Amino acid sequence: MENIFDAMPSLTQPGTFAILVVLLPSGERVLRPIGGEWGSGIVEAVCEMAEKYPDGKMKLFEENYDAWWRYFEGNIPRERLL
């Protein structure tokens, strides 16, 4: 996935709970969803991206178990939460 907009359908699928972002030396960002159809192995995703992009730097963005109560409740209806 080379563009965040290309990745959006995968990022919002049920079961996706994290995103591994790889920053390439060119400045390009690659997104790798974790969870759902992508499988739940974070370590496996890191190894896959490390092999595919050996010069890339990585950061994991993981959904907190309490994100609804901490950030969204009272601000938007629960139906609007992806």
Q: What is the pLDDT of residue 82?
A: 61
Q: What is the pLDDT of residue 47?
A: 94
Let me know how long the chain is.
Answer: 82
SS3 (DSSP) at 73: coil
Q: What is the pLDDT of residue 81?
A: 72
Residue 40 backbone dihedrals phi, psi, to 5 degrees: -105, 10
Other CB atoms closer than 10 Å to residue 34's CB: what's the count? 23
**pLDDT (tens place) for every residue of the chain, 82 residues total:** 455 556 667 677 778 888 899 999 999 999 998 888 888 889 999 999 999 999 999 999 887 777 778 778 888 888 877 6
